[in-house]
Structure 1
Amino acid sequence: MTILERWQILLISVLVLAGCAPVPSPVADGLTGPSAGLDAFVRERMAETRIPGAAYAVLDRAGIRHAGTFGTDGSGEPVTQATPFLWGSVAKPVTARLISTMVAAGELRLDEAVTTYVPAFRTRNDALSARVTLRHLLNHTSGLPTSTRHTDRTDADRRPGDVVAELAHESLAGEPGVTHRYSSTNYLLLAAVVESVTGRLFADVLAERVTEPIGMHTAVLSAERAAAVVPDGHRFVFGRPMSFATPFDPAGVAYGYLGGTIEDLAAFARASLGDESVLEAAVPTGDGRGYGLGWRRWSVEGTDIPMVWHGGALPGYSSQVILLPEHAVVFSANAYGTFQESALLDIGFGIAARTIGHEPAPAPDSNSYRTVLAGFVAAVMICLAAVIRCIRLLGRPAVTSRRRAAINLAAWLLVLGPVLAGLGIALPRSVGVGLPQLTLWTPDIAVLLFTVLALGLLLMLLRLVLALRTFAARR
């Protein structure tokens, strides 16, 4: 059996195992009655999406009406109402609430320029960046591009204000106040504003003015607390949830590195039901939807019932908070994958729909994940076959003319060069990530991509060696 055949068998086996892997078995909570329908729905979707553990709650202004917990955490312990999760971008409406309290206290003004509070803030577009306001940051209309270039760092001494110097080398993607471009950098900059105005750590201000007053007593607001109480989450690797210790960005509490129990998330949702800022006008984001002051403004699918919500994810975790006219729904899961995001969000949306007597749409049947994996596996096998062929050619006498060798080399370079540049540079940039972030969010795709890049570079080197050998032999 050749090396190529062994590689093909190995890669095909990985994909087969991914499709046949056993799904987790959520733990039943023994409830009956109307809530049992919600619990059964969550269990069903968890099994379909292969989520190891999850929790949700339905609440109104009087408190939690029902909560369900299922499965196990990353340590193998049963998920309970006291199990902490990381929330990802659900941190954004929490940060928006803090900004609103500071506006009410006269410390900030939404339509004031960011430079009023952080004078050093600028981008390559000095005139445009001077017009960026706090409202623009909150609504993602600042012109800052959609990118993770300035987020998801783990330096222990990193502070939100560190992004200011980095942004001096960034170009705005558009004029402030015109187009909604979702970017966590907006909220990282808001944290820098809060620290500049108060002279205190953002997390301390958030705890004092938001999380503690509204009853989020076990909220996770620091890397130290996350390391102490948050169990591992799960990333999807070739379709299977794999345990993962989510790294924590100490400067990122405002945009995504915030967490807590399902009771903490319910406390925030309950406080938000009576928050008038949630009803502020939103900027359009398409299809009759909008985004305003840290919240998405949609309607329950298939109805005209308004739904104000936000979702969030970190490598290993995902969450949602959904506000309806009379009640709210919160949902957290200890798993996340870029290609599983729609299925995860549909769980929260489905719970919300069922609470108003509306049957949610069937679970989405997307083959994009398998298609991308299969495409990369095919690319690996093609590159591997080409590398093996080049190695075999090196073991034979040179029989090609110098002219033909030059043409072959040029053809390989002209084809492989742009392909490798597209895969290694253009592809990650097109989705707003760098290669390090790709490894963090989609480890299986990243491994396959790096394998293709490595084999491609090796192939170019081998073709160069073959050409040089021919030139030397025909001299």
Structure 2
Amino acid sequence: MVTRSPVTRSLFVTALAVTVLCPALSPVPAAASGVSVSGEPVSAAELDRFAAAYVERRGLPGAAVAVTLDGETVHTGGYGADGGGEPLRADTPMRIASLSKSMTALAVMQLVEGGDVELDRPVYDYLPGFGIADPRGARITVRQLLGQSSGMSDQGFSPVDRPRRPTSLDEAVAQMDGAGLSAAPGEEWEYHNPNYHVAARLVEVVGGRPFTEYMEEHVFAPAGMDDTSSPDPATGTVPDPARGHVRAYGLNIPAPEPEHFSTGAGGVVSTAEDMARWVILQGDGGRAPDGTELVSAESVELMHTPSAPNGRYGLGWMRRGPEDGAGADQVWHGGMVSTYSSYQVLVPSTGYGFVALFNSGITLTEEDTWGLVEGLIALTEGREPPVGDSVLWKVDAAFGALTLLALVLGTRGVLRARGWASRRAGRPRWRVGSTFLPYLVPPAALLGADSAITLVMGGREGTWLQRFYGVPAELTFLAVAALACLAVIAARTAAVVRARRSA
């Protein structure tokens, strides 16, 4: 009878993980097709019922949503619980992650309208301290920063590899002096958070005040976003929201957000109620709900219009249409950190705006979080919302079972090492050593996991803690399988040495 080692099983599961990972990490799932459910405008009660049922069915820890229509908020609601176990509400502070970029872009556009900044002038004209190792960096324009087409990328400058966490935007920009470019400015689109660190520093220098103060005085306060704040660069913190969650093995585990510098690119804390005011402003040509104009309608349209080489990214916003699976053209942006995620969507053809904030972060798939947004959009467009349960807990359960199996098989291999060695006592050393080679595959897979995840994530770098938060069951399996194989190798090697000495 042919027996299979724990490594053989590990290889099979690793291949299975790759099969699951690659299609699951698409930026936004396609919209579900459906038929009209009503000829009347959707009611707030219907939106509320769908959101409440969705959060419970998908096993999400919590979500806060807002829906607007033609300059009015038609529904806000909170569902589930925060990290402290308290009911989540529409006014619960939550991290909005990369939705912050649209706010930084608006601040830059205010300076453009004031004549202090030109989008197509080099950043260096405004920030003489901005310099990178690649001489082409001197040609990077303000527009290219906001459109993520500066040529900078995580491969040329990894935020993970900073010598220390910056305590100011000035320091964050100065740390980029050794950065390279992955492409000439304006030629390729690469999503890179430091683009917006530089943009925030530009706001700080040209605006003549700290970035956090500028945002409060010129963006949040006039927009009526009284419960919204940007992180303090000195500490990297904001008025601390409740802990978000890591989803693992069917559980929602409260966890602290790993420390990282995010000023300008992420880190803003807001509420669903405040974000409703934000999308109203975006849908009403730059005017806040009370009529205050923060920027002109022309500037808003410019931010919403794709100008990057990928044909979809504008200035802090993206576009998607029916060719991408949307029911109608959408202006949107998503955000995701380790313990929180978020979406903001405008549908110009219907006048609706949508916000969804979640206190759970990156996972194998965005299906569970984006499905709530897609369901709300579908209801307003007369389509049936998506149905179905989360597959995340099923994948985690499978990896949990395989982790236990790897542990059992590893223990079995260690306990039987003496008998294994005695049966091979007379064989040449090279033949005995060659039997260990398959057992080196899981350790190698663990060592290569970060690079593999970076590849799947489109080149985005991350720390091991951030990776673990995103795929805890998968990395736990790889770690246990690797340790089990190494333990078997060590036990069998020791047994072989003892057997040969005895002989």
| Common topology (TM > 0.5) | yes
Q: 1:53 to 1:375 in 2, by over 3 A?
A: closer
Return the letter of the residue paired with 2:476.
Answer: V
Q: Distance in 2 between matches of 1:98 and 1:189?
A: 13
In the other structure, the counterpart of 1:104 is 113
Which of residues 456, 466, 474 in structure 2 aligns to 1:445?
A: 474
Q: 1:194 to 1:472 in 2, by over 3 A?
A: farther
In the other structure, the counterpart of 1:345 is 370
In the other structure, the counterpart of 1:145 is 153
In the other structure, the counterpart of 1:51 is 60
Tell me the SS of whatever aligns to 1:338: coil
In the other structure, the counterpart of 1:268 is 278
Which of residues 394, 410, 416 in structure 2 aligns to 1:392?
A: 416
Is 2:344 the partner of 1:321?
yes
Which of residues 249, 266, 271 in structure 2 aligns to 1:256?
A: 266
Which of residues 424, 436, 452 in structure 2 aligns to 1:427?
A: 452
Q: 1:445 to 1:199 in 2, by over 3 A?
A: farther
Q: Distance in 1 between matches of 2:55 and 2:394?
A: 19
Q: 1:375 to 1:81 in 2, by over 3 A?
A: closer
In the other structure, the counterpart of 1:245 is 256
Which of residues 373, 381, 398 in structure 1 aligns to 2:405?
A: 381
Return the letter of the residue paired with 2:466.
Answer: Q
Is 2:316 the partner of 1:294?
yes
In the other structure, the counterpart of 2:483 is 454
CA contact (8 A) 1:317 1:335 kept: yes
Q: Distance in 2 between matches of 1:64 and 1:278?
A: 20
- CA deviations on 1:329-351 (whole Å, 9 max, x unpaired) are 22222223422422211211321
Tell me the SS of whatever aligns to 2:77: strand
**How do residues 363-374 of structure 1 correspond to structure 2 at under 5 angstroms?**
363=387, 367=391, 370-371=394-395, 374=398
CA contact (8 A) 1:87 1:317 kept: yes
Query: Displacement of 1:282 after TM fit?
Result: 0.8
In the other structure, the counterpart of 1:354 is 379
Query: Displacement of 1:183 after TM fit?
Result: 2.4
Tell me the SS of whatever aligns to 2:246: strand
Which of residues 144, 150, 161 in structure 2 aligns to 1:136?
A: 144
Q: Distance in 2 between matches of 1:156 and 1:127?
A: 25
Q: Distance in 2 between matches of 1:153 and 1:257?
A: 18
Q: Distance in 2 between matches of 1:428 and 1:302?
A: 25
- CA deviations on 1:8-48 (whole Å, 9 max, x unpaired) are xxxxxxxxxxxxxxxxxxxxxxxxx8221111111222122
Which of residues 311, 325, 332 in structure 1 aligns to 2:357?
A: 332
Q: 1:56 to 1:375 in 2, by over 3 A?
A: closer
Return the letter of the residue paired with 1:359.
Answer: E
Return the letter of the residue paired with 1:435.
Answer: W
Q: Select the structure with the greater relative contact order (CA < 8 A; seq sep ≥ 6).
A: 2
Query: Displacement of 1:309 after TM fit?
Result: 0.9
Q: Distance in 2 between matches of 1:154 and 1:212?
A: 35
Q: Distance in 2 between matches of 1:115 and 1:55?
A: 40
**How do residues 31-110 of structure 1 correspond to structure 2 at under 5 angstroms?**
34-60=43-69, 62-110=71-119
CA contact (8 A) 1:59 1:270 kept: yes
Q: Aligned residues: percent identity? A: 27
Q: Distance in 2 between matches of 1:285 and 1:365?
A: 37
Tell me the SS of whatever aligns to 1:54: strand
Which of residues 236, 247, 268 in structure 1 aligns to 2:247?
A: 236
Query: More displaced, 202-211 or 218-227?
Result: 218-227
The number of residue pairs the alignment matches comes to 438
TM-score (norm 1): 0.79
In the other structure, the counterpart of 1:201 is 210
Structure 2: stretches of 5+ with no match in the other structure? 1-5, 7-41, 287-297
Q: Distance in 2 between matches of 1:64 and 1:389?
A: 63
CA contact (8 A) 2:407 2:481 kept: yes
Across the aligned residues of Structure 1 and Structure 2, the Cα RMSD in angstroms comes to: 3.6
CA contact (8 A) 2:248 2:396 kept: no
Return the letter of the residue paired with 1:451.
Answer: V
TM-score (norm 2): 0.75
CA contact (8 A) 1:373 1:445 kept: no
**How do residues 158-237 of structure 1 correspond to structure 2 at under 5 angstroms?**
158-164=167-173, 166-198=175-207, 200-222=209-231, 228=239, 230-237=241-248
Q: Distance in 2 between matches of 1:163 and 1:337?
A: 25
Query: Displacement of 1:219 after TM fit?
Result: 0.6
In the other structure, the counterpart of 1:9 is none
- CA deviations on 1:131-186 (whole Å, 9 max, x unpaired) are 32222221222233357941699978633344445544444333332222222232
Q: Distance in 2 between matches of 1:230 and 1:368?
A: 26
Tell me the SS of whatever aligns to 2:73: strand
CA contact (8 A) 2:98 2:265 kept: yes
Return the letter of the residue paired with 1:437.
Answer: Q
Q: 1:340 to 1:416 in 2, by over 3 A?
A: same
Structure 1: stretches of 5+ with no match in the other structure? 5-32
Query: More displaced, 111-120 or 365-374?
Result: 365-374
Q: Distance in 2 between matches of 1:405 and 1:163?
A: 55
